Structure 1
Amino acid sequence: MSRLLCIEWDDGTESTLSHALLRARCRCAFCERAARAGEESGGGTGVVLTEAHAIADTGLNLVFSDGHRRGIYPWAYLRELGTSGGIQGDLPS
């Protein structure tokens, strides 16, 4: 298993996002609350993406092996993550 989500955009560019990065950068209310409290919301380098569901034209709902399924990743946010440099398996610092 590659542990990478690859997205090809309409303009021909590609984003390659590691599952660990996607899990670590979840912006759902649960994860945001945990981050503000200085707690880890889960994930880690061993987490894998198990499901991806399109949410109309809004983005993707991603489900991870740690049971987390609350995050909706807007297309613009996925594009931002793909151009921010924290790709190919690196966790954010």
Structure 2
Amino acid sequence: MSTRPTDIRIRKQSRLLQLVYADGQVWELPFELLRVWSPSAEVRGHGAGPGTLQTGKRDVLVTGAEMIGNYALKLTFSDGHDSGLYSWDYLWDLGEHQDDYWQRYLQRLEQEGGRRESGPQQHF
């Protein structure tokens, strides 16, 4: 089975990247998830370890998508990030394990005191 989607749609209103496959599988990946799990060195780091925690990405948008050869999608985000190449296998993995990736991100935010919202934290 090919992990290359037959149709790709950017759903700006719902903030989802929709991937449709020949076998009928459909993944809807939130922009925030795609941004915080970007495969770029900026996010992943250059070696072993958890990489750089991405915070304040709740409202990020995908502003562009470009096919890279026959193997990947390059996404551009509203915060200027555009260095991640999302291979077809990686996008499939994000779709198939979306809940796990999301929980790992939320746990890391909690452990490191990060927030999904952008801007200064308010203290009352």
TM normalised by structure 2 equals 0.64
1:74 is the counterpart of 2:87: yes
Structure 1: 5+ residue runs without aligned partners?
Answer: none
1:86 is the counterpart of 2:95: no
State the alpha-carbon separation in 2 of the partners of residues 53 and 43 from structure 1: 24
Partners of 1:20 and 1:46 within 8 A in 2: yes
Quote how far apart the aligned CAs of 1:10 are. 1.7
Partners of 2:44 and 2:52 within 8 A in 1: no
Q: Match for residue 30 of structure 1? A: 42
Amino acid at match of 1:2: S
Q: Kindly indicate whether structure 1 or structure 2 has the higher relative contact order, using CA contacts under 8 Å at least 6 residues apart.
A: 1
Moved more, 30-39 or 70-79: 30-39
Partners of 2:42 and 2:52 within 8 A in 1: no
Q: Match for residue 56 of structure 1? A: 69
Q: Match for residue 30 of structure 2? A: 18
State the alpha-carbon separation in 2 of the partners of residues 26 and 32 from structure 1: 7
TM normalised by structure 1 equals 0.83
Quote how far apart the aligned CAs of 1:85 are. 3.2
State the alpha-carbon separation in 1 of the partners of residues 39 and 98 from structure 2: 18
Identical pairs, percent: 35
Structure 2: 5+ residue runs without aligned partners?
Answer: 1-12, 107-124
Q: Deviations over 1:15-52 (max 9, x none)?
A: 11000000000111111128947643455111111001
Moved more, 39-48 or 6-15: 39-48
Task: Look up the SS of the partner of 1:53 in the other structure.
Answer: strand
For the pair shown, the structure with the greater C-alpha radius of gyration is 2
Partners of 1:3 and 1:19 within 8 A in 2: yes
For the aligned residue pairs, the C-alpha RMSD in angstroms reads 2.4
Tell me which stretches of 4 or more aligned residues in structure 1 moved more than 6 Å: none
State the alpha-carbon separation in 1 of the partners of residues 90 and 50 from structure 2: 23
